[in-house]
């Protein structure tokens, strides 16, 4: 189970990835695990929260827009993006955001 990310004082950045999956696994589970592992090793990665219940929402947190761009250009990640568009997702939106305020319990 995904946990709440421990992020630093804002400002920092987030990628909100909202998606619907196609039917069947088709290698998706393995790729998703691998991408989480790979993202966590990227420079500037701050944390991730991920949930699916029909709709999937994955929010990854980053120290800068440059770190997000580098992750987007990662070779293995590019291949996952290609397969995602081709066979894993029936629909998705990616939103890149600047976190301006944060509070909690």
Q: Using CA atoms, how far apart are residues 40 and 48, in angstroms rounded to an integer?
A: 8
Provide the minimum distance between the beta carbon of 55 and a copy of itself in the complex, in angstroms, as a whole number. 5
Provide the minimum distance between the beta carbon of 102 and a copy of itself in the complex, in angstroms, as a whole number. 5
Provide the minimum distance between the beta carbon of 30 and a copy of itself in the complex, in angstroms, as a whole number. 19
Contact set with a copy of itself (CB under 8 A)? 1-5, 7, 10, 14, 16, 18-20, 49-57, 59, 65, 85, 89-105
Neighbours of 77 (CB within 10 A): 19
């Amino acid at each position: 189970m995904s946990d709440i990310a421990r992020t630093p004082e804002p400002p920092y950045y987030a990628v909100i990835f909202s998606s619907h999956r196609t039917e069947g696994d088709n290698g998706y589970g393995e790729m998703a695990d691998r991408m989480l592992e790979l993202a966590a090793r990227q420079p500037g990665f701050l944390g991730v929260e991920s949930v699916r219940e029909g709709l999937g929402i994955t929010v990854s947190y980053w120290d800068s827009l440059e770190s997000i761009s580098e992750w987007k250009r990662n070779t293995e990640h590019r291949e996952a993006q290609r397969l995602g568009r081709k066979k894993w997702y029936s629909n998705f939106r990616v939103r890149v955001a600047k976190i301006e305020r944060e509070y909690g319990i």
